């Protein structure tokens, strides 16, 4: 498979995908959207920090979720300039 090497199992598919920056970025965006119920936008500093912490934690999903929910915007649901208290 282009970009991820030979795929022989679900494990090799997962390992190959995890090496792709495009996949990591998409994964962070989708998890953030799931938790917030809204997209953070392409230039979100919040999402960039979550992505950096996710990669730094060796793609630990718990670290990604912790980073997203620790942000003040998670409580206030600040998305695209609007504030909605949870």
Please classify residue 32 by burial: count the beta carbons closer than 10 Å to its beta carbon, then call 0-12 exposed, 13-18 middle and 19+ buried.
buried
Q: What is the pLDDT of residues 67-82, one digit of tens each?
A: 988 887 777 765 555 5
**Token digits for 64?**
């990604």
Strand partners, 82: 79
Does the pTM of the predicted model rise above 0.95?
A: no
What pLDDT score was predicted for residue 4? 79
Q: What angle do CA 62, 70, 30 make, to 5 degrees?
A: 55
Domain assignments of the chain as residue spans, ordered by start: 10-76
CA dist 16 and 11 (Å) reads 9
Q: What is the pLDDT of residues 2-58, one digit of tens each?
A: 677 788 999 988 888 888 989 999 999 999 888 887 777 665 788 888 899 999 999
* Between 1 and 54, the higher pLDDT residue: 54
* Between 86 and 25, the higher pLDDT residue: 25
Judge whether residue 85 has pLDDT over 60. Answer: no
What pLDDT score was predicted for residue 38? 73
């Amino acid at each position: 498979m282009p970009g991820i090497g030979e795929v022989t199992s679900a494990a090799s598919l997962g390992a190959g995908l995890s090496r792709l920056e495009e996949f990591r970025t998409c994964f962070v965006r989708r998890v953030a959207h799931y938790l917030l119920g809204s997209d953070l936008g392409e230039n979100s500093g919040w999402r960039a920090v979550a992505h950096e912490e996710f990669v730094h934690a060796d793609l630990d999903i718990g670290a990604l979720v912790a980073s997203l929910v620790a942000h003040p915007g998670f409580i206030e649901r600040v998305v695209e300039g609007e504030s909605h208290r949870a």
